[in-house]
């Protein structure tokens, strides 16, 4: 077992999920449907016993046999009908989902496909815990599932494929139930050890589902791979292009759409979706991205471009130009045969091409933005493009720290020195 799988294995018995379950038992009926033992054979819980927070400490001290999810029953558990009902309600209430609610394939609607997701009692219990303790994650999973099914219909998947795609999309983030909830809070700044716990959630989800035979290999692969990217920049295994299954690619694209939902500046947030996709064609695939045009095709009046907006854009453009120029210098000192240096070089090369394709030249400094003051739409597009470019650069740093923690050590190896110096310069500019 490698380090990633070992960390995921430890998450399966973590305190956070146990705490969610036992505390939920304080407000609704959760009952043991069988006797629960420790791994050494000691009986902990009798069949029919109510589970609540008073049992948390006792349960935390032991590895449970059978696993907790296979031993508990609760009222009003999630099932196919309730998923369909929730999905239908969301499509009626959400402006973006409303755009796709009438789409059908072979007589099936998006919601009727979601109803077919196989939920054995253990997974139904887990989704019920998600619904009751993290409603945002539950709704986001349904959102991703609906968009994934829509894309699947657009690329002409058959009924069995759509069912498996819906299953993978609905369950893709089930591993997040075993992550400290504070890591999922908007704006929380994670440490690197915390970030590693978040990164393995796809492996944790895969470990949970592989226990049950009703989830086929392509479903398991999609859950495991939904954070992989075609250019190799994803996780947990850094797979590339043909190594990543179609279901995982679709879920990854659907997550981009879901990330726009609920934003404070709703209309402009959906305009930003187009910009994000322009800068991610090499990561997400040109064949799937056109399926998302329905979400940003409406014309939205761009906000005026103030002097403050223009000055901020000029500063960002200058910073981006400096970062690219700094890498060209660092590249000459960084041995690209070393995987870490090769990774930066590939990502920076791809990002440069994507920026140029989108209409900005990272090697031309701020003078290229002059003249946009009177063109609100062009100015708004440029600002969004610059914001996404800054995010992409930050993401390169995060990936470096995740893959090669040694690059941040006080005394990096000679091959890392140029990369570390460049990273420090980027951090200062960002």
- 8 A C-beta contact, residue 118 and residue 127: no
SS3 at position 140:
helix
Phi then psi dihedrals of residue 130, to 5 deg: -60, -45
Residue 31's Cβ-side half-sphere holds a number of Cα atoms within 13 Å equal to 8
Entry pTM: 0.87
Contact 402, 199 (CB under 8 A): yes
Q: Is the pLDDT of residue 365 over 60?
A: no
- 65 SS3 class: strand
Which pLDDT band holds residue 265 (cuts at 50, 70, 90)?
A: very low
* Residue 106 DSSP label: T
Percent share of the chain, pLDDT over 90: 53
What is the rounded CA–CA span in Å between residue 199 and residue 245? Answer: 19
* pLDDT tens figures, 168-218: 999 999 999 999 999 888 888 888 788 888 889 999 999 999 999 999 999
Token couple for 118? 């196989």
Give per-residue pLDDT as tens, 41-70: 999 999 999 999 999 999 999 989 999 999
CA angle at 370 for the pair 364 and 374, rounded to the nearest 5°: 145
pLDDT above 70: residue 302? no
Q: Which residue in this structure is represented by tokens 């009924």?
A: 159
| Torsion 151-385-196-190 (CA) sign | negative
Q: Using the 8-state DSSP alphabet, how is residue 235 labeled?
A: S
Sheet holding 43-45, edge to edge: 43-45, 36-38, 64-65
CATH number of 80-295: 1.10.3210.10
In the 8-state DSSP scheme, what is residue 302?
Answer: P
Structural domain boundaries in the chain? 3-74, 80-295, 307-429
* Averaged pLDDT of the chain: 88
């Amino acid at each position: 077992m490698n380090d990633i799988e070992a960390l995921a294995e430890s998450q399966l018995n973590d305190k956070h999920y146990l705490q969610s379950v036992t505390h939920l038992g304080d407000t609704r009926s959760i009952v043991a449907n069988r006797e629960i033992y420790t791994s050494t054979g000691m009986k902990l819980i009798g069949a029919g016993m109510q589970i609540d927070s008073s049992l948390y400490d006792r349960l935390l001290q032991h590895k449970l046999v059978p696993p907790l999810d296979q031993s508990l029953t609760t009222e009003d558990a999630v099932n196919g009908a309730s998923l369909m009902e929730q999905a239908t309600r969301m499509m009626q209430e959400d402006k973006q989902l409303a755009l796709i609610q009438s789409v059908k394939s072979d007589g099936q609607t998006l919601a009727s496909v979601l109803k077919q997701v196989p939920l054995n009692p253990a997974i139904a219990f887990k989704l019920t815990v998600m619904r009751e303790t993290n409603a945002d994650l539950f709704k986001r999973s349904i959102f991703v599932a609906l968009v994934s099914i829509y894309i699947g219909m657009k690329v002409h998947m058959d009924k069995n494929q759509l069912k498996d795609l819906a299953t993978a999309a609905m369950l893709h983030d089930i591993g997040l139930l075993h992550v400290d909830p504070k890591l999922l809070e908007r704006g929380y700044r994670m440490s690197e050890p915390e970030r590693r716990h978040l990164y393995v959630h796809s492996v944790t989800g895969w470990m949970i589902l592989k226990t049950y035979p009703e989830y086929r290999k392509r479903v398991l692969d999609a859950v495991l791979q939904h954070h992989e990217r075609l250019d190799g920049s994803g996780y947990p295994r850094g797979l590339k292009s043909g190594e990543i299954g179609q279901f995982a690619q679709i879920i990854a694209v659907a997550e981009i759409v879901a990330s726009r939902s609920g934003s404070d500046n709703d209309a402009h947030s959906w305009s930003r979706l187009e910009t994000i996709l322009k800068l991610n064609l090499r990561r997400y695939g040109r064949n799937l991205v056109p399926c998302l045009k329905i979400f940003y095709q409406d014309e939205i009046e761009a906000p005026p471009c103030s002097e403050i907006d223009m000055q901020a854009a000029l500063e960002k453009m200058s910073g981006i130009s400096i970062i690219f120029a700094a890498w060209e210098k660092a590249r000459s000192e960084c041995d690209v045969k070393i995987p870490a240096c090769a990774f930066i070089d590939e990502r920076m090369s791809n990002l440069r091409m994507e920026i140029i394709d989108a209409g900005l030249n990272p090697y031309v400094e701020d003078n290229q933005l002059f003249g946009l003051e009177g063109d609100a739409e062009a100015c708004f597009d440029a600002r969004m493009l610059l914001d996404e470019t800054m995010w992409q650069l930050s993401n390169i740093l995060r990936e470096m720290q995740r893959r090669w923690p040694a690059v941040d050590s006080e005394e990096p190896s000679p091959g890392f020195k140029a990369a570390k110096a460049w990273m420090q310069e980027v951090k200062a500019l960002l």
